[in-house]
Chain A
């Protein structure tokens, strides 16, 4: 069983839609939860990270962590064609290596 599960999609939505991306994990020792965005032929770029359960908002993006359910989410409001990319969840212990989900390919259609 993988430590982090993420539906690879692809996910296609119309411009302006609310997007919900999710990951589940099995290791309760994970302390930090990240969302990376990766455009084609580029490296992953950190969007947000959270430490505790609850919500964290940054502009159109909201990251949500539910440690009791071992479930994290990323919400994108008013999605734009420029949001089309692969979104990767990642987790880690206090420090060191990241453990990634498979990534969800998102396409936002004009």
Chain B
């Protein structure tokens, strides 16, 4: 079974440009999460989808970030316009529906974003 995949693995852009990150969750996983790790800091939650609906977007830093999950499959995270402080590693995680307990979140390898 394929794991969570993310594309691109690394992106270098200029301040003010737009970047779109993609996440393909494990097939059949309804829950999809976005997290971000800024250098020297802990991994922080951004957003949670259940199928195509946004369940929790309390971690989104500002309106320059837009996440979508059309059709409840893959998800994209667009940053427009990018700022220097957006640099970091963006992780995607997916999990199955909760079944009377907690769910295990499986992480992708991350997209390393560098804004110059």
Contact = CB atoms under 8 A, between A and B. Distances in A.
B107 A44 contact: yes
A86 to B, nearest CB: 10
Contacts of A99: 45
Contacts, number: 57
Contacts of A36: 107
A99 B45 CA distance: 7
Main SS class of interface, A: loop
| Max count, chain B CB within 10 A of own CB: residue among A43, A51, A99, A101 | A43
A36 to B, nearest CB: 8
Given A43-B91, A43-B110, A95 B105 contact: no
Given A49-B102, A94-B102, A100 B110 contact: no
Interface of B: 4, 33, 35, 41-45, 48, 55-56, 59, 91, 93, 98, 101-110
